[in-house]
Amino acid sequence: MSDPAQEIQESLEVLNRVPRLKGPLGRLADVLDKTLLSLAVMALLGLSLTVLLQVASRLFLPFTLAWTEELTRYLFIYMVSLGAGVVLHRHRNVNVELFHGALGFRGRAAYLMLISILTAGFTLIVLPEAWKYAQIGAFQTSPTLRIPMIYIFLSSVVLFASLFFYSVICTLEGFIALVRGEPLDHEAC
């Protein structure tokens, strides 16, 4: 007898049934997943500590630390930028699942390919503009921390580059699944 919670979880994650990419490219994606997630978690921890410091300074000090709000904003931006590609790769992004469950294995693979190709196309259009945007910050510094703004604006390049990389990976995963068909139970992801 199967666990009802497990069945609900599986029904909500139909795209995760498409097997992950193997080989060197799959290992590269896994290493990048872990690296980006670790950095995103560090940004979240830094953000949390900075907010706590800001609250403590407002409650217990006769002055407020002006730089905490700015640092919190930058850490939040980087947390999102670092995590977005991994979220795409793990199919955890917010979407409306009207028909995913009705699709067969090959239908899900084709759907994954379509969404991934559209995402890759979008990121290819936006990535050069993100780079131009980042270069604007080369001659600016942040108001309180005096950080060169290029480091902050580079978050958009990180975001779209990781989205492009992972959309290519997901396209390959969808294509391989489409060609090979449904895996046997012992081959499942």
Using one digit for the tens of pLDDT, what is the confidence trace for 48-86? 999 999 999 989 988 888 899 999 999 999 999 999 999
> Residue 7: pLDDT band by 50, 70, 90 thresholds?
low
pLDDT of residue 188: 41
Mean pLDDT within 24-50 = 94
pLDDT of residue 20: 79
Measured distance CA(29)–CA(68) in Å, rounded: 34
pLDDT score of 10 more than 70: no
The 3-class secondary structure across 25-64, one letter per residue, is HHHHHHHHHHHHHHHHHHHHHHHHHHHHHHHHHHHHCCCC
The answer to whether 168 and 120 have CB atoms below 8 angstroms apart is: yes
pLDDT of residue 114: 92
Mean pLDDT within 101-124 = 89
- Which two tokens mark 148? 């060169």
Q: Is the pTM of this model over 0.85?
A: no
pLDDT of residue 1: 52
The answer to whether 50 and 145 have CB atoms below 8 angstroms apart is: no
Measured distance CA(105)–CA(102) in Å, rounded: 10
pLDDT score of 171 more than 80: yes
Comparing CA positions, the residue from 50, 102, 106, 105 lying closest to residue 78 is: 50
